[in-house]
Amino acid sequence: MLQGHGDDGYTYQKEIIADFSTNVWYGGEPKGLKEYVFDRWNNVNWYPEVVAESLREKIASHHHILPEQVLVNSGSTESIYLLAQLFATKKTTVVIPAFSEYEDACSIYDHHLSFLAWEDALLAPRLRSDVVFICNPNNPTGLIFSELANWIKRNPACLFVVDEAFIDFTSNGESLIPLVEKFDNLIVLRSLTKTYAIPGLRLGYVTAQQDLIEQLMRIKQPWTVNSIALSAGEFIFENFSSIQPPVIQLLSDKNTFVKKLQTNESIRIEESETHFFLAKTIVRNAAQLKTFLVENYGLLIRDAGNFRGLTRQHFRLATLSPEKNQLMIKALEEWKELYY
């Protein structure tokens, strides 16, 4: 899906004052990253490393795994499309609601697709699929599948692709990367763009057992990760412990934000364990609400009506600064006064 994601403020004539539509950390890139990258600007005069070998080493060292168990890509979307290509025509299940690119990528490569609701997946059913795509924490709900490792163990013949793009935005979830040594049916996707506010650079990676990474390497295009993104990745892992966003404070701000929104009778807030969450408008629909907020307040939300399994009333909000959250609270009160 080329259109229909969040962060589409550029399509509006109105200035966007606050972007609640994207799950990227609102605080911006880590201090020092820009200077580090600019100091290495002359790297753009040469081709980047073919498969990001240096960054691969740093990521492997960070996770205490082998470099041969890591594949660096230009964001999770490249990872998803590579996996869809590798397992073309397989029987594949997508746990929904979910990031649309799982379905879109698999459709391009003629997968036999089926869909499993999140609530049903939590029962850890036996599967007849060859591949399962699941996002944990889930996008767009922000929920966590705490027993996911047990589900993987129960289905040794099914390959689980676990997208952990938002694992850094929760205090409850644990990464499954330490389990790639144990499970040969596990692939974990990670993003470096959300946590460190660099989505424009496109950077992420895959971890799995060595034979799976080797298979992906055979179909990967060279030079997909540019020199600037590589420098940013090096900075992140060289300074990892000192550049993490204040997630505990962010989640506390989210709880305050949610409590205030819950007093608004025109919307319903759904449970989440991350800094973003789903909501439903009781009046009209999310597309109309999105237009109302942009045109009148310069506030951007994610219309979630195009997520399989959701409705035209669903929208997603990320937590921003308390000041910007208050702008959304007031704007939604005006929505209630006009239409509820």
Tokens of 66: 């082998």
> Is pLDDT at 5 greater than 80 in this prediction?
no
Give me the helices (H) in 28-73, please. 33-39, 53-63
pLDDT-based confidence at 3, cuts 50/70/90?
A: very low
Report the alpha-carbon distance of residue 207 to residue 212 in Å, rounded.
9
The predicted-structure confidence for 51-98, as pLDDT tens digits, reads as follows: 999 999 999 999 999 999 999 999 999 999 999 999 999 999 999 999
Domains of the chain: 9-27+245-339 (3.90.1150.10), 33-242 (3.40.640.10)
Report the alpha-carbon distance of residue 57 to residue 270 in Å, rounded.
40
Predicted pLDDT of residue 10? 66
The predicted-structure confidence for 247-300, as pLDDT tens digits, reads as follows: 999 999 999 999 999 999 999 999 999 999 999 999 999 999 999 999 999 999
> Is pLDDT at 2 greater than 50 in this prediction?
no
Stated as kind and residue range, the H or E segment containing 139 is none
Residues 6+ apart with CB under 8 A from 111: 84, 87, 88, 89, 90, 91, 92, 131
* Full 3-state SS string of the chain: CCCCCCCCHHHCCCCCCEECCCCCCCCCCCCCHHHHHHHCHHHHHCCCCCCCHHHHHHHHHHHCCCHHHEEEECCHHHHHHHHHHHCCCCEEEEEECCCHHHHHHHHHCCCEEEEEEHHHHCCCCCCCCCEEEEECCCCCCCCCCCCHHHHHHHCCCCEEEEECCCHHHCCCCCCCHHHCCCCCCEEEEEECCCCCCCCCCCCEEEECCHHHHHHHHHHCCCCCCCHHHHHHHHHHHHCHHHCCCCHHHHHHHHHHHHHHHCCCCCEEECCCCCCEEEEEECCCCHHHHHHHHHHHHCEECEECCCCCCCCCCEEEEECCCHHHHHHHHHHHHHHHHHHC
pLDDT-based confidence at 14, cuts 50/70/90?
A: confident
What is the average pLDDT value for the chain, to the nearest integer?
Answer: 95
Q: What is the mean pLDDT of residues 9-34?
A: 90
Predicted pLDDT of residue 105? 97
Q: Is the pTM of this model over 0.85?
A: yes
> Is pLDDT at 11 greater than 80 in this prediction?
no
Strand pairing report for 131-135 and 112-117: unpaired
Counts for the chain of helices (H) and strands (E), in that order: 11, 13
CA distance to 75, 88, 92, 153, per residue, from 132 (Å): 20, 13, 6, 13
Report the alpha-carbon distance of residue 25 to residue 128 in Å, rounded.
38
Tokens of 99: 């990031």
The predicted-structure confidence for 109-141, as pLDDT tens digits, reads as follows: 999 999 999 999 999 999 999 999 999 999 999
Report the alpha-carbon distance of residue 238 to residue 257 in Å, rounded.
34
